[in-house]
């Protein structure tokens, strides 16, 4: 039986792997990475990418089932995510005239990554 520490380490490594898979998937779609694992204001954004005039703040979820990944983005998670996005935008004034959105990439075993554009509303105001 695995200890709590071993389970946390396995979860951490699975999350890192999922973020790399998501990043490679987005790069293949023409996105340029701006930041990875950005944390501020009590929230974290897994990936920040840009394509054209659009900046996508991306939440990556790795779950056994795609439906479980979607359900994992709770209202509380969206609020923390939005706080971190506001902090990033306040530190990157050049991004003020760009289009912003909150995307998600879902990773499940033996499935292609699923990129959901505008997966949820950013609370920027």
Can you give the pLDDT at residue 7? 80
Mean pLDDT of the chain, nearest integer: 91
Q: What are 61-109's pLDDT values in tens digits?
A: 998 776 777 778 899 999 999 999 999 999 999 999 999 999 999 998 8
Residue 15: pLDDT band (50, 70, 90) is: confident
Residues present in the chain in total: 125
Does the residue 97 lie in any domain?
yes
125: pLDDT strictly greater than 70 = no
Segment 23-51 shows an average pLDDT of: 96
Does the residue 77 lie in any domain?
yes
20: pLDDT strictly greater than 70 = yes
Hey, which bits of 25-68 come out as E strands? 32-40, 43-51, 54-62
Does the residue 86 lie in any domain?
yes
Does the residue 34 lie in any domain?
yes
For residues 119 and 7, the model is more confident at 119
27-65: b (≥16 Cβ within 10 Å) or e: eeeebeebeeebeeeebebbbbbbeeeebbbbbbbbbee
Segment 24-47 shows an average pLDDT of: 96
Domain span at residue 115 reads: 4-120
What is the domain count for the chain?
1
Kindly report the CATH number assigned to the domain that includes residue 89: 3.40.1350.10
Does the residue 125 lie in any domain?
no
Would you say 104 and 119 are in contact if contact means Cβ atoms under 8 Å apart? yes
């Amino acid at each position: 039986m695995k200890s709590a520490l071993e389970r946390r380490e396995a979860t951490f490594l699975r999350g890192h792997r999922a973020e790399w898979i998501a990043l490679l998937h987005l790069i293949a779609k023409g996105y340029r990475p701006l930041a990875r694992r950005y944390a501020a204001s009590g929230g974290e954004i897994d990936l920040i990418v840009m394509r054209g005039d659009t900046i996508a703040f991306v939440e990556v979820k790795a779950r056994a089932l795609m439906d479980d990944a979607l359900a994992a983005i709770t209202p509380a998670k969206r609020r923390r995510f939005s706080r971190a996005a506001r902090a990033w935008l306040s530190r990157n004034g050049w991004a003020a005239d760009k289009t912003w959105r909150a995307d998600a990439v879902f990773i499940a075993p033996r499935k292609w990554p699923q990129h959901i554009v505008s997966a949820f509303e950013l609370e920027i105001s």
